[in-house]
Structure 1
Amino acid sequence: MADAPNFGRRPFLREGAAAETGAALRACPGASLEHTFDRGDAELDRSLMDAWGPVLEVWEGYAADRAIRHRGSSGGAATALALYCLEREGMSGVLHTAAREDVPYSNQTVMSRSREELLARTGSRYAPASPGEGLHRIEEASAPCVFIGKPCDVAGVQATRKERPQLDAKLGLTVAFFCAGTPSTRGTLELLKSEGVEDPSSVRSLRYRGNGWPGRWTVEYEGASGEMRTESLSYEESWGFLQRYRQWRCYICPDHTGEFADIAVGDPWYRPAEPGEPGRSLLVARTRRGREILHAAARAGYIQLETKDATLLPRSQPNLLETRGSLWGRLVVLRLLGAAVPQYRGFPTFRYWERELNLTAKVKSFTGTARRVLRKGLWKRAVVREAKAEVEGNPGRAANLS
């Protein structure tokens, strides 16, 4: 996996690699997604099932550890759960994403094994990441591990574990965080430039969120005279800029809330964050394993669970029903124009197109997609090149992707 600046993380064949077997394609959530959970399970919340996937419980809470709560993007819940699994469940490590030390505006896949490592690697990363590339580290671990990633990452892991028994046996817990889409590296570089950071190599650290809720985008870089400088933007300002650089796949994603994870975490946006307010997290237990770990972590003092309320999920993400409805229109247009169309099963979309979208939004789901298909040339094969910072000894290697 490597970064293609205008697209995101992409797979590139190694020189001399054997022919593609199809295993990667079968696991790729960009090609297909299918819900296979038991819809007849009496414990699942049927009022949320079609729009939000399997839901057992919804809580608002936060990490009991004050440092984790402060540094986390919201309430530090994912980090707190991971730490509980390391210290109380005997798990071997946590596979997740962190900033690259040598290229701070880029990401790397890491295996954290202690509170110190987890704390140093907290915070959202609104840049391309591919933690699934490290699954072999879970398979090789001495004990089960935690996997933390975007909804699509976790969906890919769940598909992969069905074909790799050793991986299945070593996955102790999967955690997904809510995701509105991943901006390309180009987005971060343009944002840096807009704030006066012309040379990306001068960046020494970059945080997108954290150190308060919802936190600020903060870059530290070396000025022309060698002095250290800092630039900062609010979360609203930085995300408002970066979201324009989201890759196309994110516009046709059916899962923004981690429907394939054991536990999904996000921001409780049902109310505005007050200035100086400590972070809080929305926690969604989607499987019995997830619910078991969530309650055990609370009993052990790692997580503080405050409010149990299933309506917190739709109230915190009020636009996602319209997003699911728009998805139906977008997929129809892709098929009509001969562009690649992912296969989704178990995601009702037409009823939300019909019920949640007004006439203007219905029309836009067609016309807006048609414009993007034509502007982006989505019906034809694209040449994708790796970023030079990613390719050691082989800059500019390219791959053809359809």
Structure 2
Amino acid sequence: MVDDLRSGRRPEVDPAAPVDPAASALSLAVCPGASLDWRDIPEEDRVHRELFDAWGPVRRVVEGFAADEEIRRMGSSGGAATALALHCIEREGMAGALHIAADPHSPVFNRTVFSRDRTALLAATGSRYAPASPCEGLGRIEQAEAPCVFIGKPCDVAAARRLVQRSPALQEKLGATIAFFCAGAPSTEGTLQLLRQVGVEDPDRVTSLRYRGDGWPGRWTVRWRDASGRERVASLSYEESWGFLQAHRQWRCSLCPDHTGEFADIAVGDPWWRPPEEGGDELGRSLIVARTERGEALLAGAIAAGALVVEREDAALLPRSQPNLLRARASVWGRALGARLAGGRTPRFIGAPLRTLWWRELGALERIRSVVGAFRRVRRRRLNRPTPVAGSAERAAEAKEEQHACAARD
């Protein structure tokens, strides 16, 4: 996998290498970019049936936070994902957690890591609004001495769940999956442009980059050394940073109906039903959704063990907290239609009433915009034809040259 700075993480295929038909077929079979199938979800997990069409399987919804105050503060919301992963390791006998962290050598990029203790998990707290591909590390779970927990975006978890159905080794070792709510993954180029806006001329000089955490919802904070070697710091509010980065989300995210981890054992996100306090540094809370029997048991165990503190429990918290994600899901059918009319290829979504949601949740003007907007975007950005993948080194050099050129013009 390589980081195409404009598109995201992409597989780099050597055209000179021999084609393995079996490997290619397996890749397409498990890739959520090719298809998602809600028929895979057991009926017994659809406890709150009134929520299934819009939110997927829901067994239990709570709002709470990590009992460990440091984990709670450094996490993006209430630290629930980290607290659950640590509970899996310390109390459930799991060998570790596979997840994403900032690359210590180049914090602008992400890397996949395997954490075995609190120290390692704590070092990776906070959202990473940049491309990531944790599924590339699933082999470490297969080779682990005991079951492990996997943490990722909804699409990452959907891919892992499908691979489990085809890999006995992974099925034996994948102890739990945790997804975090996702409104789309911005490209690395978006981060590079934001760095330039706050005065970072050379991304190689960045020593630390946090997108969220250290309070709720936290701040985007970058540390770097300038040409003289002096340490510099710049910070933006969550609203400022996400307001900029969301314009750089990859096209595939605009066609994604699963923003809340519907194929995970547990999904976590922000309880936006109430606005954060001014300043964005209050201790946060997490919205926690148990989606499977295994996830519900894990959540109950973490609460009983004191790893999580629950303040309220109500399935209605889910739609109250994330109305924007419902509208994004409702737009997918129209966007996919517009993309196909423009000659683009789209994923196959099976077993989800996306057309019904499109008609029910959106007004007439919004429905028209979803189709026409997608049609225009596909034509304008030439998304109806293959796009060459450029690796991170090549694009980083391009970005650096562009930054230097802009600095010279200024």
Measured after TM superposition, the shift of residue 5 of structure 1 is 0.5
- Structure 2 CA distance for partners of 1:131 and 1:38, relative to 1, 3 Å: closer
**Which residue does the alignment assign to 1:397?**
none
Q: Distance between the aligned counterparts of 1:37 and 1:9, measured in 2?
A: 26
**Which residue does the alignment assign to 1:378?**
383
* Aligned with residue 105 of structure 1, among 82, 104, 108: 108
Q: Name the amino acid aligned to 2:289.
A: V
Q: Secondary structure, in 3 states, of the residue corresponding to 2:99? A: strand
Question: Could you list the per-position Cα deviations for residues 323-359 of structure 1 after superposition, in whole angstroms to 9, with x for gaps in the alignment?
Answer: 2221111111222222111100122111122111112
Measured after TM superposition, the shift of residue 42 of structure 1 is 7.8
Measured after TM superposition, the shift of residue 224 of structure 1 is 1.7
Q: Secondary structure, in 3 states, of the residue corresponding to 1:60? A: strand
TM-score (norm 2): 0.93
Q: Secondary structure, in 3 states, of the residue corresponding to 2:183? A: coil
- Structure 2 CA distance for partners of 1:37 and 1:160, relative to 1, 3 Å: closer
- Structure 2 CA distance for partners of 1:42 and 1:171, relative to 1, 3 Å: closer
Q: Name the amino acid aligned to 2:130.
A: A
Q: Distance between the aligned counterparts of 1:64 and 1:256, measured in 2?
A: 26
**What is the correspondence of 1:299-378 to structure 2 with a 5 Å cutoff?**
299-378=304-383
Q: Distance between the aligned counterparts of 1:378 and 1:390, measured in 2?
A: 19
CA RMSD of aligned residues (A): 1.5
Q: Which stretch has the larger CA shift, 25-34 or 345-354?
A: 345-354
Q: Name the amino acid aligned to 2:123.
A: A
**What is the correspondence of 1:146-185 to structure 2 with a 5 Å cutoff?**
146-185=149-188
* Contact 1:2–1:390 (Cα < 8 Å) also in 2: no
**What is the correspondence of 1:208-357 to structure 2 with a 5 Å cutoff?**
208-275=211-278, 276-357=281-362
Question: Could you list the per-position Cα deviations for residues 349-383 of structure 1 after superposition, in whole angstroms to 9, with x for gaps in the alignment?
Answer: 11122111112111101111111011111111111
**Which residue does the alignment assign to 2:122?**
119
Alignment coverage as a number of residue pairs:
391
* Contact 1:263–1:285 (Cα < 8 Å) also in 2: yes
Q: Name the amino acid aligned to 2:8.
A: G
**Which residue does the alignment assign to 1:193?**
196
Question: Could you list the per-position Cα deviations for residues 120-168 of structure 1 after superposition, in whole angstroms to 9, with x for gaps in the alignment?
Answer: 1111000000000000000000000000000000000001111101001
* Contact 2:273–2:321 (Cα < 8 Å) also in 1: yes
Q: Distance between the aligned counterparts of 1:320 and 1:301, measured in 2?
A: 31
* Aligned with residue 79 of structure 1, among 53, 78, 82: 82
Q: Distance between the aligned counterparts of 2:216 and 2:258, measured in 1?
A: 24
- Structure 2 CA distance for partners of 1:83 and 1:37, relative to 1, 3 Å: same
* Aligned with residue 146 of structure 2, among 143, 146, 151: 143
* Contact 1:53–1:259 (Cα < 8 Å) also in 2: yes
Measured after TM superposition, the shift of residue 72 of structure 1 is 0.3
Q: Distance between the aligned counterparts of 2:233 and 2:45, measured in 1?
A: 53
**Which residue does the alignment assign to 2:57?**
54
Measured after TM superposition, the shift of residue 37 of structure 1 is 4.4
TM-score (norm 1): 0.95
- Structure 2 CA distance for partners of 1:166 and 1:227, relative to 1, 3 Å: same
**Which residue does the alignment assign to 2:20?**
19
Among the aligned pairs, what percent are the same residue?
57
* Contact 1:181–1:246 (Cα < 8 Å) also in 2: yes
Q: Name the amino acid aligned to 1:161.
A: V
Q: Distance between the aligned counterparts of 1:128 and 1:37, measured in 2?
A: 27
The reply to whether residue 89 of structure 1 matches residue 85 of structure 2 is no
Q: Name the amino acid aligned to 1:378.
A: L
Q: Which stretch has the larger CA shift, 28-37 or 60-69?
A: 28-37
Measured after TM superposition, the shift of residue 190 of structure 1 is 0.3
Q: Which runs of 5+ in 1 are unaligned?
A: 392-402
* Contact 2:157–2:179 (Cα < 8 Å) also in 1: yes
Larger proportion of helix:
2
- Structure 2 CA distance for partners of 1:33 and 1:147, relative to 1, 3 Å: same
The reply to whether residue 7 of structure 1 matches residue 10 of structure 2 is no
Q: Distance between the aligned counterparts of 1:358 and 1:40, measured in 2?
A: 31
Q: Which stretch has the larger CA shift, 382-391 or 218-227?
A: 382-391
